[in-house]
Structure 1
Amino acid sequence: MNHKFLQIHPQDNVLVALTDLSAGEVIEFEGKKITLKDTVPAKHKFALTEIKQGSFVYMYGSVVGKSVSTIISGAVLTTANVKHEANSFSEKTETTGWTLPDFSKFEGRTFKGYHRSDGQVGTANYWIVIPLVFCENRNVEVIKQAFVDELGFGKPNRFKSLVQQMADLYKTGKKEQIETLQVEEFVEVSASKIFKNIDGIKFLTHQGGCGGIRQDSDMLCALLAGYINNPNVAGATVLSLGCQNAQPAILKEKLDAINPNLDKPIILLEQQKEGTESNLLSQAIKQTFLAMAEADQQERQDAPLSKLTIGLECGGSDGFSGISANPAVGHVSDLIVALGGKSILSEFPELCGVEQELINRCVDYTIAKKFSKLMVDYAASAEAVGSGFDMNPSPGNIKDGLITDAMKSSGAAKKGGTSPVVDVLDYAEYATKPGLNLLCTPGNDVESTTAMAGSGANIILFTTGLGTPTGNPVTPVIKISSNTKLAERMPDIIDVNTGGVISGEKTIPQMGEEMLEHIIKVASGEIKSKAQLLDQDDFIPWKRGVSL
């Protein structure tokens, strides 16, 4: 790889700057000299040849934009001279072949997980407390305050200590010393844990369950059912008010649809039946404690890597994400699929322009048709409220080189590797087929990771070029940096750095294999992801409808 610029695909008419390039600098590409007309920041693109007004811009071999004005060779691409444009798609026209990666290094390898009676294996062992309606959020918070510290899951609040020190200095007239105070490095405390085989008790509050359309309540119940069924969950305490749209019967219906033989302990309490708040809370706390004591009896045991279900996510993406982090994650996905496991690719607005490729990778026409319909319906619903996929790139994306949704999507789709698509899932449907699954979610980071855990992901790989503190309550989230500068600037949130791909020190397969080794350690409980260490327990259900 040239370490100053890169052509991603032979059909591309733009080059990507791998480092800052100066106006007037002369570069050589395939024997042709190009004088840069503008300063090109790293991660941004410049024209390889003249792109006439109204012509397509190509990256990854796909259409990622259309020129608003003529862009001369060596000129930088911006939102002023390029607008969103993407390849169209139709029905399945062919079946794409797949060459399996070399997975011999991982044949026979295992991780230590929690075996469930339905054959799933957890990479963690959590108890969850969930409300069926937002009216119960306060009661959930009271249970949280009662449990976390007393069970040894709490962590010292470094910043509370900082405020105490500042207050002491202020009261003693030493305000000028406040600027010199240092925050202590975080040290995980686990020696006081009461339950040695439980990784934590998690509290999934939300703003749904009533007040919206019935479909939103049904969807919320389906999502919560997925969390209860997730292999990383030992059992659940469910609080219901009683009169809300999201009824316990609907939750049970959704659980039966996912797993009719589910035998996990579920404690369900209804406030309007229990009477006083004190009675509700005391019953919830006592029953939860005793159930957790039973769940604590289960220990980690060896499991094949085929028991891994990997969620594939990106957030805070930059111009390097589609070159380093996302393809490396795609290689991991292909390895997991080759080993008999599952992977889940979501964020449908970030598949704009690569639909035909994914359609042709679908194993049959029914699955391809479902994907096409979900994409069309989603795009139409966005346009109906005055938006569209073309508005997907965030200010941070644009600043770091992703100036159109198709450009962002073409790189984002690399997380899905090259394996066949075995199933297409609507939001809150559970992944059951080994192989690559497509899951309909928004591009919003937390809504998407929330959905993947609800569809059974027991590990989530999260690539980022700008840095984002997203985590999940029940599924370990492993953060992957697209560039070394980010990994060095935000080491508290980054687990794996793929910047070596940009510098030429690592290949995509090498990086993918290193990542899988890291996954095995996290899945076995040998190490925790940075998101786990920071208690980044983000949970936001997707609300598709309006409020009534």
Structure 2
Amino acid sequence: MASNLLKIHPSDNVIVALRDIPTGDIAEWNGESYLLPYGVSSKHKFVTEDIETGGAIIMYGVLVGRAKQPIKRGEPITTFNLKHDSQDYSTANRKPYSYTQPDISRWQGRTFNGYHREDGRVGTYNYWLVLPLVFCENRNVLIMKDAFERELGYAQTDMYRGQVAEFLKAYQSGDMSRMQNLGGFTEPTREQQVKSRPFPNVDGIKFLTHEGGCGGTRTDANTLCALFAAYAVHPNVAGITVLSLGCQNSELKTLEDEIKKRDPNFNKPFYAFEHQKGTEYSLVSGAIKSTFLGLTEMNKQFREPAPLSKLSVGLKCGGSDGFSGISANPVLGHLSDIVVGLGGQTLLAEFPELNGVEQELLNRCVTEEKAAKFEKLMRDYAGKAEAVGSAFAFNPSPGNIKDGLITDAIKSAGAAKKGGNAYITDVLNYTERATEAGLALVCTPGNDVEATTGQTAAGANIILFTTGLGTPTGNPICPVAKVATNTILANRMPDVIDFDCGPVVDGTQSLEENADHLLEYVIKVASGELTKAQQLGQDDFIPWKRGVSL
């Protein structure tokens, strides 16, 4: 891919510029020359033939839009001359599908060091979970968070307290000029940030907060309980403390019932406390005591080798750019095919970003039943969006468009590359747990945190998150590794980006070579090497209320 141009699929009538091309240049691809009447920015596309109004634009081999006005050969596609369009789809129109599994011989016998759970799953981390059943208890959860994290060495924000103290000292001394000139603080090392921890086998205590549980619909309250149940049975969670007010819609019994649905033999430590039975002090101090005693038992658990078939890898993208569907997403797709070939799970989410490739995914479903479930979920979701005056077509953000993702179908066709080529063995609604080996489709919004929250609920024990523009997104209990589509981003945000797929664009590594390097990194993270989001304490958690979120 060392050329300045790339035509992704033989049937495409657009070519991608991998570098800025100035006005008047002649671009050459496979013996064809194209005079460019306008400059084409890196990551953007120009057409290979004259397109009449209403004419189809094909990219990744699929329909991604139609011309709003005539587009001359060599002209770039823009929001002014192109509108979204995509192929219709139907389970009834499924066609036979087959693919060739990549060579997995070098990975057979490889292991990662994880926490083995009684249900047969393996955690990549060992967390205790503290959660409120209703927003009324957020404050008490945060009180517990402050006490536990500071005393047990898990606090992530102490690195900034010294700066505030210096500013305060200068202010109190009346030295305003010194206060104005303060700066240039040295960023502490990881070792300086992490205090000595009395529980070395406890990777963290995670405190969730949210704005739900009451005042909304009963459906939302029940969905919240289902989400919490999915987190409780997650292999990265060893014990749970629950704070309840007592009168909210998200009832404790509903949570307990949802846990039993997912794991009838659930036997992790589970401590629940109701605020309306006494004072705040009795609530919080009782929860602290039980949680602390639970940590002492949890600390007796150790990492042990596990086969790569115990990996459950979430596949996510956000802050996408024009290279996402060329470098990082296909790299994840190749990695996904390897993990699936080894007997593991991969989870492809973000249903609004599968708009335009539905038929291909329907073809890949292993059964008619799975295909029908996917079609129903997609049509129901799209219908709700259209009912409130929105649509999947409105999905690309200003940043996406600026970087070449002109229509949702272009964005979606590139986003779907994260799912590789394997058969789709399962289709999961939001909060449903993945129980089958292979590639599963997980119904979530495209919204970064709502999607990672949902992928974790499905059982992902590591999430690979591709980005071309940069995002700090993380998750409380599942490590989220940020994968850059380009080296410029990786160098600009080294405290956020974990892995660079830029060598694929530069032509210094093949897609397969880059995917091999990424899988080596995944094994390290699954064995306890912290992602950048974990180092920063980026514990993002947003429940989806099943309304319209793109």
| TM norm. shorter chain > 0.5 | yes
Counterparts of 1:77 and 1:165, CA distance in 2: 53
- Displacement after TM superposition at 1:98 (Å): 2.0
Counterparts of 1:218 and 1:268, CA distance in 2: 17
Partner of 1:524: 527
Counterparts of 1:300 and 1:2, CA distance in 2: 42
Amino acid in the other structure paired with 1:442: P
Deviation string for 1:220-273 (max 9, x for gaps)? 111100101110001100111111111111111111111100111110111112
Counterparts of 2:74 and 2:547, CA distance in 1: 46
Counterparts of 1:152 and 1:489, CA distance in 2: 30
- Displacement after TM superposition at 1:160 (Å): 2.7
- After TM superposition, the structure 1 = structure 2 runs for residues 331-480 of structure 1, keeping only pairs within 5 Å, are 331-480=334-483
Amino acid in the other structure paired with 1:535: G
Partner of 1:119: 120
Residue aligned with 1:112, SS: strand
Residue aligned with 1:479, SS: strand
- Displacement after TM superposition at 1:211 (Å): 1.0
Partner of 1:534: 536
Counterparts of 1:226 and 1:459, CA distance in 2: 15
Partner of 1:293: 296
Partner of 1:238: 242
Deviation string for 1:461-497 (max 9, x for gaps)? 0000000010000000010000011001101000000
- After TM superposition, the structure 1 = structure 2 runs for residues 36-435 of structure 1, keeping only pairs within 5 Å, are 36-92=36-92, 93-155=94-156, 157-170=158-171, 171-173=173-175, 175=177, 178-179=180-181, 181-188=183-190, 189-273=193-277, 275-435=278-438
- After TM superposition, the structure 1 = structure 2 runs for residues 489-528 of structure 1, keeping only pairs within 5 Å, are 489-525=492-528, 527-528=529-530
Amino acid in the other structure paired with 1:456: G
Given that 2:134 and 2:212 are in contact with CA atoms closer than 8 Å, whether structure 1 keeps it comes out as: yes
Given that 2:324 and 2:414 are in contact with CA atoms closer than 8 Å, whether structure 1 keeps it comes out as: yes
- Displacement after TM superposition at 1:156 (Å): 5.4
Partner of 2:9: 9
TM-score by length of 1: 0.97
- Displacement after TM superposition at 1:176 (Å): 6.0
Measured at CA, do residues 183 and 3 of structure 1 come closer, stay the same or move farther in structure 2, by a change above 3 Å? farther
Counterparts of 1:6 and 1:179, CA distance in 2: 49
Counterparts of 1:468 and 1:186, CA distance in 2: 22
Residue aligned with 1:237, SS: strand
Amino acid in the other structure paired with 1:32: E
Counterparts of 1:247 and 1:57, CA distance in 2: 51
Counterparts of 2:195 and 2:283, CA distance in 1: 31
Residue aligned with 2:150, SS: coil
- Displacement after TM superposition at 1:51 (Å): 1.4
- Displacement after TM superposition at 1:95 (Å): 3.2
Counterparts of 1:522 and 1:113, CA distance in 2: 10
Counterparts of 2:194 and 2:170, CA distance in 1: 32
Partner of 2:484: 481
Counterparts of 1:48 and 1:172, CA distance in 2: 67
- Displacement after TM superposition at 1:172 (Å): 4.7
Aligned-residue CA RMSD in angstroms?
A: 1.3
Given that 1:95 and 1:362 are in contact with CA atoms closer than 8 Å, whether structure 2 keeps it comes out as: no
Amino acid in the other structure paired with 2:34: I
Counterparts of 2:448 and 2:280, CA distance in 1: 35
Counterparts of 1:398 and 1:143, CA distance in 2: 43
Given that 1:37 and 1:76 are in contact with CA atoms closer than 8 Å, whether structure 2 keeps it comes out as: no
Amino acid in the other structure paired with 2:395: N
Given that 1:3 and 1:502 are in contact with CA atoms closer than 8 Å, whether structure 2 keeps it comes out as: no
Dislocated runs of 4+, deviation >6 Å? none
Counterparts of 2:188 and 2:376, CA distance in 1: 47
Given that 1:158 and 1:183 are in contact with CA atoms closer than 8 Å, whether structure 2 keeps it comes out as: no
- Displacement after TM superposition at 1:174 (Å): 5.2
- Displacement after TM superposition at 1:178 (Å): 3.7
Amino acid in the other structure paired with 1:164: A
Given that 1:216 and 1:545 are in contact with CA atoms closer than 8 Å, whether structure 2 keeps it comes out as: no
Greater Cα shift, 314-323 or 205-214: 205-214
Identity of aligned residues (%): 55
Given that 1:17 and 1:44 are in contact with CA atoms closer than 8 Å, whether structure 2 keeps it comes out as: yes
- Displacement after TM superposition at 1:522 (Å): 0.6
Contiguous gaps of at least 5 residues in structure 2: none
- Displacement after TM superposition at 1:82 (Å): 0.3
Amino acid in the other structure paired with 1:231: P
Amino acid in the other structure paired with 2:208: L
Given that 2:37 and 2:74 are in contact with CA atoms closer than 8 Å, whether structure 1 keeps it comes out as: yes
Residue aligned with 1:218, SS: helix
Residue aligned with 1:28, SS: strand
Residue aligned with 1:148, SS: helix
Given that 2:2 and 2:506 are in contact with CA atoms closer than 8 Å, whether structure 1 keeps it comes out as: no
Counterparts of 2:100 and 2:249, CA distance in 1: 48
Greater Cα shift, 21-30 or 426-435: 21-30
Counterparts of 1:492 and 1:31, CA distance in 2: 43
Counterparts of 2:354 and 2:256, CA distance in 1: 33
Deviation string for 1:79-121 (max 9, x for gaps)? 0000000111011522311211111111000000000000010
Amino acid in the other structure paired with 1:258: R
Given that 2:156 and 2:536 are in contact with CA atoms closer than 8 Å, whether structure 1 keeps it comes out as: no
Residue aligned with 1:438, SS: strand
Residue aligned with 1:150, SS: helix
Amino acid in the other structure paired with 1:165: E
Greater Cα shift, 382-391 or 46-55: 46-55
Given that 2:316 and 2:465 are in contact with CA atoms closer than 8 Å, whether structure 1 keeps it comes out as: yes
Counterparts of 2:7 and 2:132, CA distance in 1: 50
Amino acid in the other structure paired with 1:452: Q
Given that 2:333 and 2:420 are in contact with CA atoms closer than 8 Å, whether structure 1 keeps it comes out as: yes
Contiguous gaps of at least 5 residues in structure 1: none
Amino acid in the other structure paired with 2:141: V
